[in-house]
Structure 1
Amino acid sequence: MKDQMEQDQADAEVRARIQASFDRQGLMGHLGARLTHIGPGRVSISLPARPEVTQQNGYFHAGATSAIADTAGGYAAFTLFPEGTSVLTVEYKINLLAPAEGERIEAEGTVLRP
């Protein structure tokens, strides 16, 4: 029982650290993105549709799509980092297979191999 309580406390501290870092990101706030899930090695970010995040044909802009994908991946990794560290993207590649449309889009970052 004590081990589970300690793990729950550690998970809560990680979630708080991730949320606090996310809240400091000006771009995510500007886009209207929000964290919808924070777990060990997994983060989801939701972006509601608004004219400010679309391109000329009404689809989500690739820049907005890429920004939340990059951020979700970084924060998924960050959930596994020790306290007192930080995360910063140095390189990423994205392939967009179809235009993104709808009421919202969601990016899910998942750590495959820590």
Structure 2
Amino acid sequence: MTQNEIFHIGKQALEAQSFSKLLGTKLMEFTAGEVVLEVPITEHVLQQHGFVHGGVIGYAADNALTFVGGSVLGPNVLTAEYKINYVRPAVGEKLIARATVISAGKRQAVCRCDVFAVKDGEEKICATAQGTIMTVISE
């Protein structure tokens, strides 16, 4: 399978997620072991202090973790668990979630994701996460 075909499969998966469509999430990079997602920051994702809601940051991390896990395990994957540390409030024009695979076996992958807020072209880390992605076994 070519890199272009792999990217197309990832894009189709993202487009099939209604919540991702609602947020306007874009798949920027999708290769074996690396994923980059972008989420626009709009007034609809802010909390009462004007920062991006933690749930939206968590969504970006979780989705990037699952995509990157799927890049090495195949498309039938789910998040088994993840942990997130919020580093600073997110403000700006968009979030960028960059995820990589730390270790992968046949049925699970441990992955890492850093989430950045971009304001005036400058990236600042706002969260870091680690998660375990597992294949879905049909019963």
| Aligned residue type for 1:107 | A
Unmatched tracts of structure 2, length 5 or more: 105-139
Tell me which protein shows more strand as a share of its residues.
2
Match of residue 67 from structure 1: 59
Tell me which protein shows more helix as a share of its residues.
1
**Moved >4 Å (runs of 4+):** none
Larger radius of gyration: 1
C-alpha distance in 1 between matches for 2:46 and 2:21: 16
CA RMSD of aligned residues (A): 1.3
| Aligned residue type for 1:48 | P
Match of residue 86 from structure 1: 76
User: 93, 97, 107: which one pairs with 2:87?
Assistant: 97
Aligned pair count reads 104
Deviations 1:6-42 (A, max 9, x none): xxx4322222221111110111111111111111211
Larger RCO (alpha carbons 8 Å, 6+ apart): 1
State the TM-score, normalizing by the size of structure 1: 0.84
Unmatched tracts of structure 1, length 5 or more: 1-8
Q: Is the 8 A contact 1:18 1:78 kept in 2?
A: no
Percent of aligned pairs sharing the same letter? 31
C-alpha distance in 2 between matches for 1:77 and 1:92: 12
